[in-house]
Amino acid sequence: MQTVLIIDDHPVFGEGLEAWLRDTGRFDVLASVTAVELAPPAAVVVCDMRLPGRSGAAAVRHLVDAGSKVLAFSGSASSQDVLDVIAAGAAGYISKTASRAMFVAAVTAVADGKFHVSAELADYLRKDAMHRKLATGEIGELAHDVLRRFSQGDRADEIAAALGWSVARIDRMVAEIWQAATRRRLLLMPTPRERDVMKLAKQNLSHKEIAARLVPPIAKGTVSDYLDSIRDKFVQTHPDTPRDINPLVAAREWANEFHDL
């Protein structure tokens, strides 16, 4: 049996999910913990996206780097937050309000090395692909149709039957969708140098002060170029943000979302 760990800062929910998974007789379910930093090694981790300490994409990346397959869940995450955890390596996302059967099916899929596409996630992936097309390696119309069917609540076997495909073909297409979504998201993530600028902007430093503190130091005008790029990426990944937001403000706000900045 594969080990499964639940990370959630609401013990009542974590304990309930523990019981559901134990009842399947398939998993060795560890006692749930309330933070990523308290997590023992586990083959599969079911992780809330809102946690003390490491949270969201940072939490998922930490768990994946430790060798776990991760199913992310939340009761309040935005579409952009969900897409970030997918890019960080999560093998699926499910709403905290999902039924017992859906949670068990999601954990089982991830444990089997598959991706879990909930209706919410399928809708996020489809819209992201429509609005932020990749120059190369973008998904095609058939993949959009598969995502549309997932967003309606159809299961992989139901979609396969409707299209006259095998479930294995659906699984392969989902893997291609995942790869494209990750590439698309990484294009909008700050570069290492932009992260350095964001870290200094978070300290309420001016353009001139940021330029002087970077290693090696750069020209004040180059800081403006970095900040403009950060602002553009921030606006694209935070759709409710005004496009004319001050670049320094955007850099500070985004820096606050990263656990390691």
Looking up tokens 């999560």 gives 90
pLDDT in tens, 155-182: 999 999 999 999 999 999 999 999 999 9
pLDDT in tens, 17-60: 999 999 999 999 999 999 999 999 999 999 999 999 899 999 99
Predicted pLDDT at 253:
94
pLDDT in tens, 190-247: 999 999 999 999 999 999 999 999 999 999 999 999 999 999 999 988 888 999 999 9
Share of the chain above pLDDT 70, in %: 99
SS (HEC) of the chain? CEEEEEECCCHHHHHHHHHHHHHCCCEEECCCECCHHHCCCCCEEEEECCCCCCCHHHHHHHHHHCCCEEEEEECCCCHHHHHHHHHCCCCEEEECCCCHHHHHHHHHHHHCCCCEECHHHHHHHHHHHHHCCCCCCCCCHHHHHHHHHHHCCCCHHHHHHHHCCCHHHHHHHHHHHHHHHHHHHHCCCCCHHHHHHHHHHCCCCCHHHHHHHCCCCCCHHHHHHHHHHHHHHHHHHCCCCCCCCCHHHHHHHHHCCCCCC
Three-state SS at 164: coil
Q: Domains (ranges, CATH) in the chain? A: 1-115 (3.40.50.2300), 118-188 (no CATH), 192-255 (1.10.10)
pLDDT-derived band at 93, boundaries 50, 70, 90: very high
